Homo-oligomer: A and B are copies of this chain.
Amino acid sequence: MSKAFKPATKLSLDDLNKNIIDAEYAIRGPIPTKAEELEFQLNTSAVNKDLPFNNVVYASIGNPQQLDQKPLTFSRQVISILQYPDLIKQREVLISSGLYNDDAFDRANRLFSQIGKSIGAYSGTQGIYGIRETVARFISKRDGFPSDPNDIFLTDGASKAATYLLSILCQNKSTGVLIPIPQYPLYTASITMYNATMLPYYLDEETNWSTNAEEIEKTVVESIANGVIPRVIVVINPGNPTGAVLSFDTIAKIFKIAAKYGIVVLADEVYQNNIYYKDVEFHSMKKVLRTLQRDHQGYENVQLASLHSTSKGVFGECGQRGGYMEITGFTDEVRQVITKLASISICSVVTGQALVDLMVDPPQPGEDSYELDKNERLTIHNNMKERGFLLYETFSKLEGIQCQKPQGAMYLFPALLLPQKALEEAKRLNLLPDEFYCLRLLETTGICTVPGSGFGQAEGTWHVRTTFLAPGTQWIKDWETFHKRFYDQYRD
């Protein structure tokens, strides 16, 4: 070790993968990062706490259990048994003490028979076969068309599945990926990371963020003329951040384009259980595809991947990272590449896989946990519906804010009609106008949201995405007060 040498310098950004440097993910962008700093400031006695609020309200991310949403009791009973099978030895005692329901043990035993010895063992690449059978039964029942467990991949949330597929399907800049605008920023981040070309199709805000198939086909045709092959279309239904729910007919039109131009459909359906009005219905893309294939010629080559997750719905088990993907219509050689890529991460977390089972196969009438489970689900669902509607009504009354009525998901994406003086002030601060608004909202009230620019928006329009998960009404009142003062300050 004695000989001297001249040490090299450290890496700079120039030495890194440019595509990853360029990727942006607003959900964890500057505003949420600032919120975490403020929260740290509030919780740390050493730092001056001179802030105009007492706590941070995270309306920036669909993370229900960070707020007041309780996990479903039946699911957690079952997973705790899977984690600690010694509980089974005292089944009777635990039931008579009221800690556990009988059917939780039945379910845990069934899952053990499928998983094998332990949830601490890696599963096969696609996930536990028995759980995939249960998922396939759920899909078959939901759609009225058969589903095959061999087409199911259990994944770490839905994000993992989306990035898997996009990484396989993106070759270079001549690969085009159609995404709705506004969209969930995982998609723009992935397209940037995998060095493909983004092909935006704009949702129509005036008609409740509806999807226009003609607009999509126009984008496809233009893209082909420009030498970019449209390879994938991302469809988010119910929409994030818009909450819009697609009609059967709109989905059918999307499939017609997919069939005609050979475009893979990536259906992000993680909010399929977050539907709040009786006149709104969720149609799975798989069901629509099978209907078209049954009734029409020309749809036999369509390739579809549908994603679902335990993080949303009434589950809200974000931190547990459960999810699944169903693939339909891919050739065997392409399927093998998808499986190979999944195998490199060995398997998804096994308790997340078990949660998928619990999500798609809840307690049934006559089983011990049925009533409690049904009530818990209903309460969570109704809470979301009420909070969403209250927030929507509040926005509707305010000057300079325009909000579409939420049909599904757990977000509102109102437009901000900002006065000229506010636009100028934002410019002076080197911020986008929506960033300026969200930053002021955060600094004044502790409410953390995400600027619309992180999701994409029509040029010259500005939005804010907020969840409607936060409990209570005080934060809504605080927002209202802030908004009025903001307008008073900047009104032209």
A residues touching B (Cβ–Cβ < 8 Å)? Answer: 1, 4-13, 15-18, 20-21, 23, 25, 27-28, 36, 61, 63-68, 70-71, 73, 76-77, 79-81, 83-84, 86-87, 90, 93, 97, 99, 116-125, 156-157, 159-160, 163, 167-171, 186, 189-190, 193-194, 231, 252-253, 256, 259-264, 292, 296-301, 303, 316-321, 329-331, 333-334, 337, 340-341, 343-352
> Do residues A349 and B346 form an inter-chain contact, with CB atoms below 8 A?
no
> Do residues B20 and A341 form an inter-chain contact, with CB atoms below 8 A?
yes
Name 23 A/B residue pairs within 8 A (Cβ), A-sorted: A5-B260, A7-B298, A8-B263, A10-B330, A11-B169, A11-B264, A11-B334, A12-B331, A13-B334, A15-B171, A16-B169, A16-B171, A17-B170, A18-B171, A66-B117, A76-B84, A76-B86, A80-B87, A83-B83, A120-B318, A122-B318, A123-B319, A193-B344
> Do residues B65 and A118 form an inter-chain contact, with CB atoms below 8 A?
yes
Q: What residues of chain B lie closer than 8 Å to A262, measured between beta carbons?
A: 8-11
Q: What residues of chain B lie closer than 8 Å to A159, measured between beta carbons?
A: 344-346
A119 to B66, CA, bound (A): 9
> Do residues B349 and A156 form an inter-chain contact, with CB atoms below 8 A?
yes
A85 to B4, CA, bound (A): 58
Which 4 residue pairs across A and B have the least CB separation, nearest first? A8-B262, A319-B350, A80-B84, A28-B343
> Do residues B337 and A320 form an inter-chain contact, with CB atoms below 8 A?
no
Q: What residues of chain B lie closer than 8 Å to A61, measured between beta carbons?
A: 122
> Do residues A252 and B28 form an inter-chain contact, with CB atoms below 8 A?
no
Given contacts A65-B118, A344-B23, contact A171 B17 (CB under 8 A): yes
> Do residues A76 and B65 form an inter-chain contact, with CB atoms below 8 A?
no
Q: What residues of chain B lie closer than 8 Å to A194, measured between beta carbons?
A: 17
A8 to B262, CA, bound (A): 5
Q: What residues of chain B lie closer than 8 Å to A80, measured between beta carbons?
A: 80-81, 83-84, 87
A71 to B115, CA, bound (A): 15
A101 to B414, CA, bound (A): 52
A86 to B23, CA, bound (A): 42
Q: What is the CB-to-nearest-CB distance from A331 to chain B, in angstroms, rounded to a whole number? A: 5
Q: What residues of chain B lie closer than 8 Å to A90, measured between beta carbons?
A: 97, 99
Q: What is the CB-to-nearest-CB distance from A307 to chain B, in angstroms, rounded to a whole number? A: 14
Q: What residues of chain B lie closer than 8 Å to A120, measured between beta carbons?
A: 65, 71, 316-320
Q: What is the CB-to-nearest-CB distance from A455 to chain B, in angstroms, rounded to a whole number? A: 15
Known pairs A71-B120, A321-B348 / 8 extra A-B pairs, C-beta < 8 Å: A17-B168, A77-B84, A90-B99, A121-B318, A156-B156, A189-B344, A193-B344, A320-B351
Q: What residues of chain B lie closer than 8 Å to A348, measured between beta carbons?
A: 321
Q: Which of B296, B320, B350 touches A1 (beta carbons < 8 Å)?
A: B296
> Do residues A7 and B97 form an inter-chain contact, with CB atoms below 8 A?
no
Given contacts A76-B83, A80-B80, contact A303 B11 (CB under 8 A): yes
Q: What residues of chain B lie closer than 8 Å to A125, measured between beta carbons?
A: 28
> Do residues A25 and B343 form an inter-chain contact, with CB atoms below 8 A?
yes
Q: What is the CB-to-nearest-CB distance from A40 to chain B, in angstroms, rounded to a whole number? A: 9
Q: What residues of chain B lie closer than 8 Å to A12, measured between beta carbons?
A: 331, 333-334
A317 to B86, CA, bound (A): 17
Q: Which of B81, B124, B170, B193 touches A36 (beta carbons < 8 Å)?
A: B124
Q: What residues of chain B lie closer than 8 Å to A351, measured between beta carbons?
A: 83, 319-320, 349, 351
Q: Which of B9, B21, B297 touches A4 (beta carbons < 8 Å)?
A: B297
A1 to B118, CA, bound (A): 50
> Do residues B119 and A320 form an inter-chain contact, with CB atoms below 8 A?
yes
Given contacts A17-B168, A156-B349, A301-B7, contact A79 B83 (CB under 8 A): yes
A296's nearest neighbour on chain B, judged by CB, is B1
> Do residues B331 and A349 form an inter-chain contact, with CB atoms below 8 A?
no
A263's nearest neighbour on chain B, judged by CB, is B8
A59 to B78, CA, bound (A): 31
A12 to B99, CA, bound (A): 54
A81 to B344, CA, bound (A): 32
> Do residues B16 and A260 form an inter-chain contact, with CB atoms below 8 A?
no
A295's nearest neighbour on chain B, judged by CB, is B1
